[in-house]
Copies of this chain bind each other. A is one copy, B any other.
């Protein structure tokens, strides 16, 4: 049991180090070697915890989802605007998410299952948030289940435009425009 606890602690330490490396060097610079060095492991030692770069990055994204998560009953639409604002200040992790999402669309990619599962869950949560705010019909006439995939799509799509050209796209502002569109104001 003590060994197991130590191992979990080590795993958590590696994820924090990976997040730091990602923030500093971006997706491309987040090599297993760089992460291993930061936690004082050999690359071989790191492979014991995460056998590939993809496995490590998926674990980082899963961990971020945990930290970002809000109990479904607590979610409000305006919190989403704040989340997008917050994301605009942590470029490295957004870049990692977007790059891995792109890779995952190829058949057999190790991140495919993570994203497929994640999107089903996120669409479900968003539909709940929208239903709590608007009931069974949004002001524009859509149901929460129709609006949820659009909301998720806007968040992801804006991230790509913003990563490519941050001066041309104000991501938080654009997302708030979308929320306004939904609200029918």
With known contacts A153-B161, A157-B154, A165-B116, A146–B177 Cβ distance under 8 A: yes
Cβ-based interface call for A40 (8 A): no
With both beta carbons as reference points, the residue of chain B lying nearest to A94 in the complex is identified as: B105
Chain B min CB distance to A140 (Å): 4
Cβ-based interface call for A174 (8 A): yes
Cβ-based interface call for A89 (8 A): no
Cβ-based interface call for A103 (8 A): yes
In angstroms, Cα B154 to Cα A127, docked, is 17
In angstroms, Cα B165 to Cα A115, docked, is 10
- CB-contact partner of A157 in B103, B141, B157, under 8 A: B157
Range class of the A interface residue count: 35 or more
B174 A107 Cβ-Cβ under 8 A: no
In angstroms, Cα B185 to Cα A115, docked, is 33
With both beta carbons as reference points, the residue of chain B lying nearest to A170 in the complex is identified as: B149
- CB-contact partner of A102 in B101, B146, B158, B169, under 8 A: B101
Cβ-based interface call for A63 (8 A): no
With both beta carbons as reference points, the residue of chain B lying nearest to A27 in the complex is identified as: B106
Residues of B within 8 Å of A100, CB to CB, are 102
4 further A-B pairs in the complex, CB-CB below 8 A; given A100-B102, A120-B168, A154-B154: A98-B102, A147-B177, A150-B178, A156-B157
With both beta carbons as reference points, the residue of chain B lying nearest to A120 in the complex is identified as: B168
